Structure 1
Amino acid sequence: MTKHLLLVEDEPLAQARISAILRKHRPSWVVADTAQSTVELSKALDNQDVFDLILCDIHLADGLSFKAFQRKKIKTPVIFITAYDEYALQSFDHNCIDYVLKPIQEERLIKAFEKVESLNTIPTSPIISVEFVEKFLQHYSQKTYKKRFLTKSGSKLSFTSVENIAFFYAEGGVTFLVESGSSNKFIIDHSLNELESDLLDPNKFYRINRSFIINLKNLMEMKPYHNGRLALSMNAKCDEAIVVARERVNEFKSWINQ
């Protein structure tokens, strides 16, 4: 059955990822309109009756998409796309059809589509209430990530921008940062667990095994490795092979293909 979608997403890679999944698994569904800002979304919501489903990223170029939901009665099913905090996810359980985390997993988005298809009736009351939007905007804090790291080399202290980091690795209880190009390495005062869970943007950095976190921007090449693993070539030298753990290979491939 044909469904008409409003796709709200300002990242070209994410747009392409969603469109590719739609073409593959729901070829009869049509992206009837798109929005890349809260201004465009607000205008599109004035005609929401023409949409059967809204796929909506939370963070757009000009702010939170929820700002466009203010003072509007949303009766169209919404799937939110998010990489944000626990408060948001708990709230979504009661105020939208589903939510999908970034980086977008094909299987997870398909399950969200199936949930939409299981709906038998058109809601008579708003799916997202004005009260919920107001409460969300009051309590929601946008996730921010580190832009630079204080590094140590001997007695010398300096700053390294995240854009210039090829990878992090841990050895002997010490965490090292390795610069792209120069391959200079520095000690930092953060564990890999802290980097992964709180400090690094998950759309740019990925923990490939227990000892390494890599920056996608500085990934040069991938090759098959022993026992179903992948060996990576980065834009920096390393004394040992940089290998994606076997149990993470499928997720890693989905991550780089987002």
Structure 2
Amino acid sequence: MIKHLLLVEDEPLAQARISEIIRKHRPDWVIADSAQSIVELDKALENQDLFDLILCDIHLADGLSFKAFQRKKIKVPVIFITAYDAYALQSFDHNCIDYVLKPIQEERLIQAFEKVENLGQLPAERAISSDFVENFLRNYSEKSYKKRFLTKSGSKLSFTPVEQIAYFYADRGITFLVESGSSNKFIVDHSLNELENGLLDPNKFYRINRSFIINLDSLIEMKPFNNGRLALSLNAKSDEAIVVARERVNEFKTWINQ
């Protein structure tokens, strides 16, 4: 029976999101300890008998959490959490371990909880093996996203850091980048599909409809809009209303509450 958890996570928003889901769906579960670095995880694993389950971010501020697992025999089921591509994990078939991608979807994390609960009768030693750790470290690679974009305005070329981007939008087959604050507009040589599928960090950027991708850090206000949609106010001007498509509203609310 799952009762006491070790939460390994260095992002405050993710910590709050996980805690909220546990309180809502597993109110009898207790986060008995937490760790935000490999050093803290090392210390917590010295008393792993106190835990029934470990929820563990893969990438911590000081490196991969697997470095701590290498140094100890882990007997506790682990649910891995990551903001990076999961292709490496898909090559491992280990029935006591699950993984959840960020931004954390409530239903997906609950499925992971249920998987561990259903496997509770299996020997604890099967939770994680040294072979699994070694193979993972050999195959795991972090997903890197663009840090800046080459932009065009007339004959002028320049670079715009992603931190200065309020949103992208497409108009008649041309993709534009709009800067935060100044609302300056530039042409970029990428489609919205390319931006959404690999170039932009999904924790920061979200495609709200067919024509717009917004930066979470640029969002100022949300208001109900007609037909169940949401109208957004960003820290940059737009010639048209910036609206979340109705079919994306629930997912958008979940994403923004990550």
With the shorter chain as reference, the TM-score category is over 0.9
> Following the alignment from structure 2 to structure 1, what is the Cα–Cα distance between the partners of residues 117 and 222?
38
Tell me the equivalent position of 1:15: 15
Deviations 1:211-231 (A, max 9, x none): 110000000111111211111
Tell me the equivalent position of 2:172: 172
Tell me the equivalent position of 1:249: 249
Tell me the equivalent position of 2:3: 3
Deviations 1:8-50 (A, max 9, x none): 0000011011111111221111111101011211221222111
TM-score of the superposition, structure 2-length normalised?
0.95
Tell me the equivalent position of 2:145: 145
> Following the alignment from structure 1 to structure 2, what is the Cα–Cα distance between the partners of residues 94 and 103?
23
Tell me the equivalent position of 2:240: 240
Q: How many corresponding residue pairs?
A: 258
TM-score of the superposition, structure 1-length normalised?
0.95
Shift of 1:96: 4.4
Farther-moved stretch of structure 1 (40-49 vs 186-195): 40-49
Q: Which runs of 5+ in 1 are unaligned?
A: none
Shift of 1:116: 2.0
Shift of 1:71: 3.6
> Following the alignment from structure 2 to structure 1, what is the Cα–Cα distance between the partners of residues 27 and 125?
30
Tell me the equivalent position of 2:94: 94
Residue 37 of structure 2 aligns with an amino acid whose one-letter code is S
Q: Which runs of 5+ in 2 are unaligned?
A: none
Confirm whether residue 185 of structure 1 aligns to residue 185 of structure 2: yes
Confirm whether residue 36 of structure 1 aligns to residue 36 of structure 2: yes
Deviations 1:113-172 (A, max 9, x none): 222222242525342211221121112111111111111100111111111100001111
> Following the alignment from structure 1 to structure 2, what is the Cα–Cα distance between the partners of residues 122 and 27?
24
Aligned pairs for 1:151-166 (under 5 A) are 151-166=151-166
Shift of 1:57: 0.7
| Secondary structure in structure 2 of the residue aligned to 1:109 | helix
Tell me the equivalent position of 1:66: 66
Moved segments of 4+, more than 4 Å = none
> Following the alignment from structure 2 to structure 1, what is the Cα–Cα distance between the partners of residues 93 and 176?
39
> Following the alignment from structure 2 to structure 1, what is the Cα–Cα distance between the partners of residues 92 and 60?
18
| Secondary structure in structure 1 of the residue aligned to 2:190 | coil
Shift of 1:184: 0.4
Asked if structure 2 preserves the Cα contact closer than 8 Å seen for 1:3 and 1:29, the reply is yes
> Following the alignment from structure 1 to structure 2, what is the Cα–Cα distance between the partners of residues 243 and 174?
19
| Secondary structure in structure 2 of the residue aligned to 1:69 | helix
Tell me the equivalent position of 1:108: 108
Tell me the equivalent position of 1:56: 56
| Secondary structure in structure 2 of the residue aligned to 1:137 | helix
| Secondary structure in structure 2 of the residue aligned to 1:76 | coil
User: RMSD in angstroms over aligned alpha carbons?
Assistant: 1.5
> Following the alignment from structure 2 to structure 1, what is the Cα–Cα distance between the partners of residues 101 and 93?
13
> Following the alignment from structure 1 to structure 2, what is the Cα–Cα distance between the partners of residues 141 and 189?
26
> Following the alignment from structure 1 to structure 2, what is the Cα–Cα distance between the partners of residues 225 and 191?
27
Shift of 1:240: 1.0
| Secondary structure in structure 1 of the residue aligned to 2:87 | helix
